[in-house]
Every structure is written in structure tokens, then in C-alpha cells.
Amino acid sequence: MIDAGGHALFYGLAAAASPLALTATFVAIRSARPRTNGMAFLSGFVLGTAIASGLGLLLGQAAVERLDSHETLEAVLALLLGIVLLTVGLRERLESPGPPEGSRASAILAGLGNVRPAAAFSMAGLLGFGGPKRLVLTFLAMASVSEAILGDAASGTLVVFYIAVATVLVWVPVGIVIVAGERAAVILERGQSWLTAHAAALRVWLSVGIGAALVVDGLARLLA
């Protein structure tokens, strides 16, 4: 239970550490409908993460039941993802990265400013489900839960815990808007400005930091 909880926390924090998700949240909650768009965005993001977690849990249970070397497979996946993130981060560092113009990120952010709650929900669902990095982290977290062979209540608690951690950079800003309303506008504006100015550096250091941690985690599992 402790090991599975530690891995759920680690992978959840790694999945949560996304400048894109935080920037998209700021855009949604600073739109013309801050509360309704914020709640819709949060609901979609949590649902997307929950769906990915459910799929990861099913895959993890299947791996535990059918593969004798499932622990090695999980370690190799963590190691490979870590190497990819390290490579991407170091390459962007050397190339002095700029904003991801023309990318999926730009398209999502451009569309969030003036959308209705239903569209915000849909876009957030895609972000919550995740791209390759977030999906692999979710599957690794759920594999750890499956591997621990806990009861239904304990496994469910860890899944909810992972979802809460992996969505923290969305539900905290949305919660601030719901509670504080217009009083939070200045704080959110400063936060969004700072994030926009430092997004490139954050992408690099998060990629390098998470990649290094995953490499260590993968190697530790393989050598255990």
C-alpha cells in the first residue's frame, strides 16, 4: 500500500506538472464566463483523467494476471519515458526553445478564450486524457496500484488520490475563482503573465527533472 501510494503520488505529480494544462486553465477561468467555464473545464479535465486511469487500471490488472515479467515491463517503460523526456528537454535547452506555435497546444489555447462551457468541457477532456507522456504516467501509476493487489476500497482510494494529484494545477485555480470570484482576477492575471513569460524554461526544466527522476525510478526497479 505504501509503495503503491508513493508511486501514485510520484506519477501524479509528474503528470500534473504541465505548463500547458495550467495555461489552459488560466485562459478558461479568465474568459467571459469564468465560473461556468472554469467548472466545465475542471469537470472535463477530471473526467478525461478518470477515463485514462480506468483504462490504465484494466491494462495493469491484465499485465499482472498474464505477464510474469510485468514488473520488468513497467520499469522499462519508466526508463524509456525518462530517456525520451531527458532528450527532449536537453535538446530544447540547447536550441533556446520558444513558444510552441502551430502545435496542438497553440490550437487549444487559441480556442479556449471565447468558447461556451460545453466546448471548454470537451477540450479539457482531451487534455485530461493526455498525450503520450501523461498517458504513460497514468498507466504506470495504475500498474503500481494493480501490482499491489489491494482490496477494492484501497485500490479505489489510490485511484482517486492519483486523479486528485494529477489534476491539482486545474482544480486549485478553478477553486480560487469559485470561492473568490472577481477578487482573484489580479492574482490570476499575474500568474498567467508569469507563466506565459517562463513557459519555455519551465518546459525544459520540467522535462529534464521528470525525465531524470523516471530514469532513476526505472533503474531502481530493474536493479531491485
Least confident of 8-17, 43-52, 100-109: 100-109
* Residue range 115-174, pLDDT digits in tens: 788 888 998 999 999 889 999 999 999 988 888 767 778 888 999 999 999 999 999 999
Q: pLDDT-based confidence at 183, cuts 50/70/90?
A: confident
Alpha-carbon gap, residue 82 to 114, rounded angstroms: 36
Res 104 pLDDT > 60: no
Q: What integer pLDDT is reported at residue 72 of this predicted model?
A: 83
Q: How many CB atoms lie within 10 A of CB 107?
A: 12
Res 30 pLDDT > 90: no
Which three three-digit cell numbers place residue 219?
Answer: 533503474
pTM over cut 0.85: yes
CA triple 140-15-203, angle to 5 deg? 130
Question: Residue 71: CB partners within 8 Å, gap ≥ 6?
Answer: 147, 221
